[in-house]
Amino acid sequence: MRSTRSRSRRTALSTAHEAPAHVPNDAAASPLLEVDDLHVEFRTRDGVAKVLNGVDYRVGPGETLAVLGESGSGKSVTAQTVMGILDVPPGVITGGSVRFNGEDLLSAGESRRRELRGESLSMIFQDALSALNPVYTVGFQIAEQLRLRRGLSRKDATARAVELLDQVQIPNAKQRVQEYPHQFSGGMRQRAMIAMSLALDPDLLIADEPTTALDVTVQAQIMDLLDELRRDRGMGLILITHDLGVVAEVADRIVVMYAGRIVESAGAHELYREPGHPYTEGLMRSIPRLDLKGHDLETIKGLPPNLMAVPPGCPFHPRCPRAEHVCAEQVPDDHVLVGGRTSACHFAEELISGE
pLDDT at 3: 38
Give the per-residue pLDDT at 70: 92
pLDDT tens digits, residue range 111-138? Answer: 999 999 988 999 998 877 788 999 999 9
Residue 221 has what pLDDT?
A: 87
pLDDT bin (cut points 50, 70, 90) of residue 354 is low
Report the chain's mean pLDDT, rounded to a whole number. Answer: 87
Q: What is the pLDDT of residue 127?
A: 78
pLDDT of residue 29: 58
Check pLDDT > 90 for residue 55.
Answer: yes
Strands 335-336, 121-124: pairing is unpaired
Q: What is the pLDDT of residue 355?
A: 56
Region 176-191: what's the mean pLDDT? 92
Q: What DSSP string describes 143-199?
A: HHHHHHHH---HHHHHHHHHHHHHHTT-TTHHHHTTS-GGGS-HHHHHHHHHHHHHT
| Ordered alpha helix ranges (H), the chain | 4-16, 75-83, 110-116, 128-131, 138-150, 154-167, 173-176, 186-198, 216-233, 244-247, 268-273, 278-285, 325-329, 348-353
Burial of 347 per CB tally in 10 Å (0-12, 13-18, 19+): buried
pLDDT(13) > 80: no
Residue type, 120: S
Could you give the maximum distance between any two Cα atoms of the chain, in Å?
68
Tell me what the mean pLDDT of segment 58-81 comes to: 95
The letter for the amino acid at 134 is P
Mean local confidence (pLDDT), 127-152: 92
Q: Compute CA distances 73 → 50, 82, 260, whole Å.
A: 11, 16, 5
Comparing 195 with 242, which gets the higher pLDDT?
195
What's the topology of domain 1-120+204-355?
A: Rossmann fold (3.40.50)
The yes-or-no verdict on residue 58 having pLDDT over 50 is yes
Q: Cβ(285)–Cβ(9) under 8 Å?
A: yes
Q: Which amino acid is at 351?
A: L
Quick one: residue 272, left, alpha or beta (phi over 0 = left, psi -120 to 50 = alpha)? Answer: alpha
DSSP state of 317: G
Is residue 346 classed as helix, strand or coil in its secondary structure? coil
Residue 257 has pLDDT above 50, yes or no: yes
Contact of 142 with 180, CB cutoff 8 Å: no
Please give the residue that has the higher pLDDT: either 204 or 26.
204
Q: Would you report the helix, strand and coil content of the chain in percent, each value rounded to 5?
A: 40, 20, 40
The domain locations on the chain are 1-120+204-355, 128-201
pLDDT in tens, 204-222: 999 998 887 778 888 888 8
Do 344 and 327 touch, CB atoms closer than 8 A? no
More confident residue, 171 or 23: 171
Percent with pLDDT over 70 in the chain: 90
